Structure 1
Amino acid sequence: EIGTACVVSDGGNLLFSSSHQQRCEEREGFLNFSEEVELPGQRLTFIVSVDPERYFVEVQETEKRIYRFILPSVALFVLLIIGIFTTRFTNQIRQLVYKAEHMGGEGSSFVSSGAGNELLTLEEAMDYSANLIERNRASLNAFNQELEQQVEARTAELTKASQAKDEFLASMSHELRTPLTSIIGNSEFLIDGGLGGGAECDQKEASQVLRAIQSAGHNQLALVNDILDMSKIESGKFTIDEAPYNLAALLADLQSMLSVRVQDAGLKWIVTQNNQESRLLMGDASRIAQILINLVSNAIKFTDTGCITVTTRVADGKLKFRVEDEGIGMSPEVMSRLFTRFEQADSSIGRRFGGSGLGLFISINLAELMGGEIDVSSEEGVGSVFELMIPYQPSDIFVRDQQEDANESLLDEQLSGHILIAEDTPELQLLERRILESVGLTVTAVVDGQQAVDQVNQNHFDLILMDMQMPVMDGIEATRTLRQQGHTLPIIALTANVMQKHRDAFNEAGCDGFLGKPIDKTELRRELKQHLLQRQEKIVEPPSQAEEEVDDELMAIFREGVVESRDKLTEAFSNKVWSDVRAVAHRVKGSAVSFGYPELSQMAEALQFAIDEERVDEVPALTKVLLTEFDRVLS
């Protein structure tokens, strides 16, 4: 079609011709293309001649066809590729926009104005996120500053609390040593027989010295009780024992206990009950009394002249006790930390008036445990008002006639009956015997629970004082055995374990009452009176005070017991028989405080507690301390 001709020759011999040309040569006026090809035995020459005009026309037509079909295809392909990449790119942008929009987390409120322009939307979102981050950074800085301030404030509080605790410990050293000094000094005075020069003191002087020892011992015991109460409150182990109580009797006891202190301070006081109760109330009378004693004691301590008023009333379903004084008063700053442990108004208060700084802390916690509260108002130089408010809970029991109560004096009345004492500590056994015999009772004593069971089966007894921890058979097992045998005589638990769980165990075993060590003679007589009333036959004159005091014979027996306890403790500790170590500690804990050695009792109690709590690593140090105290007592 474009005027081509092809000639093939071999060494000048024409082999093929597509036209009339018979020779193998190029044609004039044509575009000639020649190529030689070597074959085995041949040398072929190819000549192709093309008409130029027709060739270029055909080339142009071919180009037109290419432009018409090929280029659109290429363009379509390119557009397809661009579309694919554009889609992927815009998807990535949209993801960035989404992340930017939600960079602020939940609650962010970014609204785009890009209207489909992803880059503009992305820019706006990034600006919004940057602003949000800046705001968050500012908030975080503010929070950090606030947190730092709180940490500084808390650090200051802890530092202040640590200082208060240090002051408390220093105060405790004084408060503990003062009564101990009195006890030891007065005891040595009695042992030496009187004042210097060997002059023996008369009975009146000896009685005064013994009263001083007794007072110091009670003060020491009260302080130890405060510390133990605080420990139980903080550990959540403090329990409230609700029982019927006589409000009038509670207030009368309060007056009886504190009247001498009020008079010695040169003050007047008035105790008023606005509502005369016909029924007994439900509550923990001992804890209510403890709070009131703390409040009145503080009023006495901080009042130089004037009157203290205690008023009781019922209002809004609450039993309210109001204690008002005309003392030094308090500032608002002092009142804000009034119920904090270890705290007093300032360190000078502790130096001037004494005290542990635990009374009000314990009082507010006791009130809260009873479902109540304590309010306080005060003005410096005018006085203070404390008001204890607890739930008003009348019982179904009517208050007995006042005359009947008056006839139940425990201090002047003699009793009759046969009492069995089960006590393994000789010095305590002798002390209990003396107290019981002093009120006209006949006493038989045994040293373990098995002997107690045997005695009850062989003889008649009106009541048993049963120590709960004894060798061979303990008090709980002995009580349970007697109840199983059908014996119904009253059994009073006598023990140094005064926690509620122990009392529950005693009641479950069949005990009718409970007395803690050291022995409170008033409480002991109250229990005896309650259970022996029907057997009472006559009233005789009360014994003289000298007959009730601990004499040299008792003290000698106690010291012999200390020697025996020291030897047993040394042997048990050397053999690492912890049960025997605990038994010695328990025995000493109960007897030492009754004979005027509360510090020895505390050390023994600490050793017993460590063994009970399986703190074996503390036992060696506590044992060494107790042995050292034994030597000091015997020196």
Structure 2
Amino acid sequence: DTATTEIYTLSLHDALPIYYARTIHDSANQLLAMINEILDFSKIEAGHLTLETSSTAINPLAEGVMALFEPRAQEKGLRLSLHVDPLVPGWVMIDAGRLRQILLNLIANAIKFTDHGSVSIRVTSTVEHLLFEISDTGCGLNSEQQETLFEPFQQADESVARRYGGTGLGLAICKRLSDAMRGRLGVISTPGEGSTFWCELPLVEASPVSTSQPAEPTQDFNGTSLLLVEDNAVNRKVALGLLSRLGCDVVCAENGYDALAMAKRQQVHLIFMDIQLPDSDGITVTQQLRAQGGWCSDVPIVAMTAGGAEDDRKRCLAAGMNDYITKPLSLLALSNVLALQLTPAQTPSTPIAAESGNDVLLNEATLATLTSSIGADSVKQLVMLYHQQVHDYIGQLVDCFASNTEIASEQLPQMERLAHQLRGESLSIGAEQLAAQSKHLEQLAGQPEASSAQIEEAFSALHHCAARTHAALEQWHREHQLN
């Protein structure tokens, strides 16, 4: 939408950036979906479609696809259900990506064209075939509409195109994919009662594939009490999930003042301390805790930070901290630091080195570790929270540019703080490239000699990277987490 884009460019210097950003985002998503469908269809028609058959677990694949549509179904007040017949083999040889593409399209259509009632997914099998049936209680189709439904650029009628949009390619692509997989695709429908789209594919049983899981810590920390000092909601949720998995009892403080007050009321075995806090910094809070005396003089305090510079480590250890751990956190890293710091015979450990690879858009190893540690549902909620936080940070950063051709000096600390927050959250979720862009903006905002042009250029790169990261996380959900 070039007109909206032009307005948005101008709006960096007035007070209406968020509205235009959302308009661009929605228009771009619709356009991208249409372009992808056209490209996909062109590839199939040109004979460039390749199938990648592998041993696939049917149950998790079907459950994962359904889970993606649960929020949309709930929003419309529809019942969404899945039934996999017990006789369906656990593992089959199939192109999981193409099967998922077919199911995503059929379920999306069922929900789109159903205003009341339910959408159900049913998976059954015979000796030779797998059968997927997606049934809805929507508007249904007459026989004339059914005849052309699987042809390219066809929709039930013109009113459908006006109301729902789209290219009319989705079902045509599904039909060609099922044909390429030596299967069949069809529909049974009655106007006013609903439709059942079915996809029948050859059944070839397969042996289970063992997936390598991140190393699990062997030590149990049940009964260990911890104070987590972390102001960031995403980072706090990640740390809480991992530490709870280790059996720890965790209390949280969101700033230095609360941490000091809590330490006066409650004794804990160890304190995890974020370095940058809204009212102070972790080093100062550590010094104040040590000065309180009593158990605070000796309790292990471990720094948690997005940074990995050697001078940061030295400052933390010099302030009286016992160890230093960098984000993204992992179950194993937390277990190791707890074991080292809570065993009396051990001396303070060597700080854990920061991981490299900030050029990676999305570190799937971080996401896999989170999934195995806190569960797929928690990761799904975490990603949704992260998307919301990124949206909020971007909005606040845009506001820093409003109404001025030059960035006001009083805005720089705010920009530095927001960039630091975004950096930490991005590392926690595995968004390494966005973390690197945030770090660059954070550094520029902290340099008095940096020009407004440099800062705006850094923010523009960050903004584009945030959009790519959002898309990459959505793709990861579809292709990995919910398989």
TM-score normalised according to structure 2 size: 0.47
Choose between structure 1 and 2 for higher RCO, CA contacts under 8 A separated by at least 6 residues: 2
Q: Larger C-alpha radius of gyration, 1 or 2?
A: 1
